[in-house]
Amino acid sequence: MPLFRRKKKIAPSDLLTPNHVAIIMDGNGRWAQKRGMPRIEGHRQGAKSVRRACESCVEFGVKHLTLYCFSNENWKRPKEELEFLMGLLKQFLVSESKTLIEKNIRLSIIGRRDGLPEDVLQEMDIAVHKSKEMTGLHLCLAINYGSRQEITDAVRQIANLAKSGLIDPDQINEETISQHLYTSAIPDPDLLIRTSGEFRISNYLLWQISYSEIWITNRAWPEFGREDMLEAIADYSRRHRRFGGL
């Protein structure tokens, strides 16, 4: 008998695939700095990981992929880095629009529009419009997003409806709140992935991930590829989701 057993190779067909995967894409800048490169190079390489993540989700049968691209708090970063990030986002939207169509991927974007450059907003709208008829993977980008801000916006909308007499405050329930979130048309994530080994939620989909399985990897986002996605989904497949029951 061999002293060590060979690790069984994971077959995607054997997996219980999550319907919705959400990812906190962390570690771009630190990945670059560890290699003696400027932080912006980490963001450039991280953009390539977005394509790999989409291809993996298509291959494994994931229906929804939500990526935390830019948070409300990211505005605190140096001006030069912010300008590069906005330019990179615009470039991604322009260059990947054709790929979205070819891969039958539908794009949507959540977050506040306030503060984003006009040319970026224009490309966002164009890319969303071009892909609106696609029926494959739904790719949702969280841009200028913060979950507390999202919940605040939802509460404000509901309060205005109640003030106008269009909704009875006594009838407000969890479903009411969910229907007024940015993600109202998207099912809650089954699996939340965070890269770069950080154990934080970082103001991301706080309402929606109440019962999501969480998987954390030490690999930085620019390193994240197909095998990492496969490992995350395999780990998800082994878990028993009880939703508060037995």
> Which pair of tokens denotes residue 204?
């991301």
The catalytic residue among 19, 26, 125, 173 is 26
Q: Catalytic one among 19, 72, 74, 125? A: 74
Percent of the chain residues past pLDDT 90, beyond the cut: 89
Task: Select from 82, 84, 129 the least CA-distant residue to 107.
Answer: 129
74 is catalytic: yes
Amino acid 1: pLDDT: 40
Number of structural domains (the chain) is 1
Q: Please check the confidence at residue 6 and state whether its pLDDT lies above 50.
A: no
Structural domain contains residue 245: no
pLDDT digits (tens, 9 = 90+) for 62-101: 999 999 999 999 999 999 999 999 999 999 999 998 899 9
- Domain assignment present for residue 2? The answer is no
Q: What integer is the mean pLDDT of 26-48?
A: 94
Per the annotation, the verdict on 125 as an active-site residue is: no
Range of the domain at 87: 17-236
List the beta strands (DSSP E) in 162-241. Answer: 191-194, 213-216
C-beta atoms surrounding 231 within 10 Å: 14
- Asked if residues 10 and 230 have their Cβ atoms less than 8 Å apart, the reply is yes
Confidence of residue 22 (pLDDT cuts 50, 70, 90): very high
> Tell me, what's the pLDDT at 222?
97
Inside any domain, residue 57: yes
How many other β-carbons are positioned within 10 Å of the β-carbon of residue 135? 8
CATH for 76? 3.40.1180.10
